[in-house]
Structure 1
Amino acid sequence: MKLALATAIGAFSLDEDLAPLREACAEAGIEAHALAWDDPTVGWARFDAVLLRSTWDYTGRLPEFLAWCERTAAVTRLWNPPGVVRWNTDKRYLGELARQGVPVIESHFLAPGDDPATLPDLEEFVVKPTVGAGSRDAQRYVRDERAAAIEHARRLLDQDRHVLVQPYLKAVDEQGETALLFFDGQFSHAIRKGPLLKHGQGPTRALFAAEHIQSRTPSAAEHEVAAKVLAALPFDTLPYARVDLLPSADGPQLLELELTEPSVFLPYGPGAADRFVAALKRRLG
């Protein structure tokens, strides 16, 4: 069996999941190749499946990436499928999940043509594009910096980008963010991320902001929220999903649901790479 691990040229040396994933594939009898998604010389049809891994440069060229997903899925299996990718690459899905009763961080959306001065009046908050990854173009503000936040939103809107505004949950500064990993719908492991957005720090220009990661055992409440998130999805069980939660006074709340190209933090979960590959092998038949 042959599996393509789709990445980006700039991510080859940054993706910590690639090495353990390739090793686990080899042990399971799967021939895995890490290839750039936008390499025109690759014949994707020669693989039994293509697994989206670290295609982290797509956010600035989303139409091109979505078109590639459709073409690839037409000649082989793409995980996750194009419909999932299209839905998940725009954070307006958070509004859809919130309407279904999922505990989502309070989210306000601005569309091109909206007045950025209508962004909500919050004590401390984050402004970011709805299409983005790795904290790129995201920045944290306090109420006294509202004028700067409005200009940030205006720049994004002028680029024909939708904007998401959320309150900054201060508990993350002490407790961090919890990411729960699921392979084929089954919980595998979880990690803790330290806070990414420091006050006064501008948006990162790198593929993603530097992260401080460690293993974590999720609470019962975090498991419960993650289960609600996955149950609310308009898709069948997926090969992989990452549920990112933040602590709040009302309990864990969904920050993001990563179904496209998430780091799955294999080095932080003993046996995680083997569990991931076993799930993929079952799908490969």
Structure 2
Amino acid sequence: MTFADPDGGDDEKELALAAWAEAGIAGRIVRWDDPEADWAAFDAVVVRSAWDYVDRRAEFLDWARRVESVTRLLNPAAVLERNTDKTYLRDLKAPAIPTYWVGPGEEADFPVLDEYVVKPTVSAGARDTIRTGDRGEAGAHAARLVAEGRTAMIQPYLDMVETEGETSLLYFGGRFSHAIRRNPMLAGNATGPGRGNGHGELRTPGGDQLALAEQVLAEFPDVLYARVDLVRLPDGSPVLIELELTEPYLFLRYAPEAAANLARALGAAL
């Protein structure tokens, strides 16, 4: 399941469909907002590149609940609802990047940092996100987001994303598939949903990173796919940046067995 993208959108969809066919699973691409789609006709609906949900989150979640009432939705609607608002980071037991929150009716109260990242809790692909060393600019951007009725997140910018890089661990059916060193999206790469994600390199994760990813996913035992995005703090300890359970780019082209791993997990779920 995808969305209507004039720029071509998801470059992984054909690879995924081919792997599914090899595993004996017939699939086809359908826009999530296609008014003619008969979702009950499918044994399951797999959310993939619904990258326009950011502007239509309520509509997207209503769609997810309707689909789940007539067939199997992967990932489930309750997971999508929780994961499409980054306030889920406040509720996780696993260590996450330090974050300061400010919502409507609240005053921004955050410490002096070397550099700030400020973004809304509902966003994708660095949309409406800024990186700045100016505390006043950080506060002003947070205030603009709050004035629009949104909740803002204020985080430290970690230089480690430009040296070691972010590490994304991909899991299918709860099993580790592969890991990618991702290019930092706030260091000059393309931004926007799905943009800037297609560049990285295969990486062998550390034992502490695997342990953290599995700690995070223990709170979400019934997901078909997950991307756990980690970075190391200056002291070397890994922390969660984001847990992508809705429409993550999966880097299927980077590991020989990645698409087959996803197909096997889907087959097991069915």
1:258 aligns with 2:244: yes
TM-superposed CA distance for 1:12, in Å, is 7.4
Q: How many residues align?
A: 268
Which residue is 1:177 aligned to? 166
TM-superposed CA distance for 1:147, in Å, is 2.0
Structure 1 residue identity aligned to 2:140: E
Which residue is 2:123 aligned to? 132
Which residue is 1:30 aligned to? 25
CA RMSD of superposed structures (Å): 1.8
Structure 2 residue identity aligned to 1:196: M
Pick the aligned partner of 1:52 from 38, 42, 47: 47
SS at match of 1:29: coil
Structure 1 residue identity aligned to 2:177: S
TM-superposed CA distance for 1:47, in Å, is 0.6
More strand by share: 1
Question: Is the Cα–Cα contact under 8 Å of residues 103 and 253 in structure 1 kept in the other structure?
Answer: yes
Which residue is 1:72 aligned to? 67
Unaligned segments of structure 2, at least 5 residues? none
Question: Is the Cα–Cα contact under 8 Å of residues 139 and 202 in structure 1 kept in the other structure?
Answer: no
Unaligned segments of structure 1, at least 5 residues? 1-5
Which residue is 1:223 aligned to? 210
SS at match of 2:30: strand
- Report 1:100-179 matches (<5 A): 100=93, 102-116=94-108, 118-142=109-133, 145-179=134-168
Pick the aligned partner of 1:20 from 15, 18, 29: 15
How high is the sequence identity, in percent, across the aligned residues? 46
SS at match of 1:7: coil
TM-superposed CA distance for 1:112, in Å, is 1.2
Deviations 1:140-168 (CA, angstroms, capped at 9, x unpaired): 111xx222222211221111111111111
SS at match of 2:159: coil
Pick the aligned partner of 1:85 from 75, 80, 84: 80
Structure 2 residue identity aligned to 1:107: T
Task: Supply the distance in 2 between the matched residues of 1:124 and 1:202 (Cα, whole angstroms).
Answer: 18
TM norm structure 2: 0.94
Task: Supply the distance in 2 between the matched residues of 1:38 and 1:153 (Cα, whole angstroms).
Answer: 31
TM-superposed CA distance for 1:14, in Å, is 2.7
